Amino acid sequence: MDQQHTRQLERNVFNVSRSLRGKSWRPRAFDERAANAIAEHHELPLLIARILSARGVALDDLPHFLEPTLKAAMPDPSVLRDMDRAASRIADAIVGGEQIAVLADYDVDGAASAALMSRYLHSLGRDLVVHVPDRITEGYGPNAEALGRLADGGASLIVTVDCGIAAADAFTAIAGRADVIVLDHHQAGEVLPDVAGVVNPNRLDDLAGLE
């Protein structure tokens, strides 16, 4: 880092030399040639290019850093066990006009997951039934009574979101009446529910390396 640039940064862009706690702002070391290349290739101010270089952003990675997308940032979902199997079953239900039900946990994970499922299916012109168990009267996760009501109501596919990994016994209540797909992230045991698909990065046999 050249001394002129060091002095420039120490004076600070906004004329603020110290933090609220009295700590001095000091410039992080960067590669001058890399910064110049970033500025030239992407038509960025040199100061911004130097900051990006100091953060370790490589020239080839800069487009993804400046304009990130979910597709580039997220791993391939197919690396998860049962993901393709579950996606195929849901797709068949959508194409076939089956009634789909979602049983969601009552916390923010479950609510957000149910909302995403609902929004996606509605965008395809499909309706679905959403059931969130009452935490006082039904407790946590799927229960035989709630599953039975969904199946009796015509649901041929029930998707549990943010719950279900420990509900193997409850699922036996609707065996042969409706397929079940479990989408969960809580710790799984050695025995998984005997259902159409169990997508959970915390399955003991899942090697995706996700959490």
Give the containing element (helix H, strand E) for 113: helix 108-123
**pLDDT band of 68, cuts 50, 70, 90:** confident
State yes or no: pLDDT of 45 exceeds 80: yes
Instruction: Tell me the per-residue pLDDT of 151-165, one tens digit each, with 9 for 90 and over.
Output: 999 999 999 999 999
Q: Residue 98 — pLDDT band, cuts 50, 70, 90?
A: very high
Do 61 and 105 lie in a common domain?
A: no
* Predicted TM-score of the model (pTM): 0.72
pLDDT at 130 over 90: yes
The domain of 178 spans 77-199
Res. 8: pLDDT tops 60: no
Write out pLDDT tens, residues 159-189.
Answer: 999 999 999 999 999 999 999 999 999 999 9
Which of these three, 43, 71, 99, is where a domain ends? Answer: 71
β-sheet bridge partners, residue 129: 101
Is residue 168 a part of any domain in this protein? Answer: yes
In this structure, the answer to whether residues 13 and 90 fall within a common structural domain is no
Cα dihedral: 105, 109, 112, 114 (round 10) = -30
CATH code, domain with 87: 3.90.1640.30
